[in-house]
Amino acid sequence: MDFESTFTIVAIVFEALGALAMIVGFVIAVVLGVRALRRGEGGQAAFQVLRTTLGSAILLGLEVLVAADLIRTITSKPSLEDALILGIIVLIRTVLSMSIQIEIEGTLPWRRALLTSGGRLLGDAIARDRAAARGAAAAPSGSASADITPGETR
């Protein structure tokens, strides 16, 4: 087996992993959405869980597919046409990734960075961890850790 055919197989594996990440993410998103509905969190909360989880899975799949395209382009015989095609594919996938991320988080990535400090993110992560450790059913509705969502201020 020569160098180019080996990396063609590697690129195909990456493409399969990207598609698998999206499919598995879809299944996980549906399961989490149904669980949120069964817990009685309401349709809006279940939709938000479904939307966030599915968007994250799509983002992960897109990143893996970009890696597959990079491997294909780098290991093939270099040409200006291949480089141009790769640039267009990466540009399209980057715009898609950014628009999905904006849709999930509700703010521009650079705006979020300006509004959210590292300490705030760390505090939110600790609060979520504590709430998960206590269990969603055991957490009182008035507790600060159960009511705060990432990026929310009091």
pLDDT digits 0-9 by tens, 74-133? 777 777 887 888 888 888 888 888 888 787 777 776 666 565 655 666 667 677 767 766
Tell whether 13 and 89 lie within a shared domain: yes
Domain of residue 41 covers 3-108
Counting the structural domains of the chain, the total is 2
Whether residue 150 contacts residue 121, with contact meaning beta carbons closer than 8 Å, is answered with yes
Enter the DSSP assignment of 112.
Answer: H
Residues 12 and 77 placed together within one structural domain of the fold: yes
Report the alpha-carbon distance of residue 8 to residue 6 in Å, rounded: 5
What is the reported pTM? 0.62
**Which class for 61: exposed (0-12), middle (13-18), buried (19 or more C-beta within 10 A)?**
buried
Confidence of residue 147 (pLDDT cuts 50, 70, 90): very low
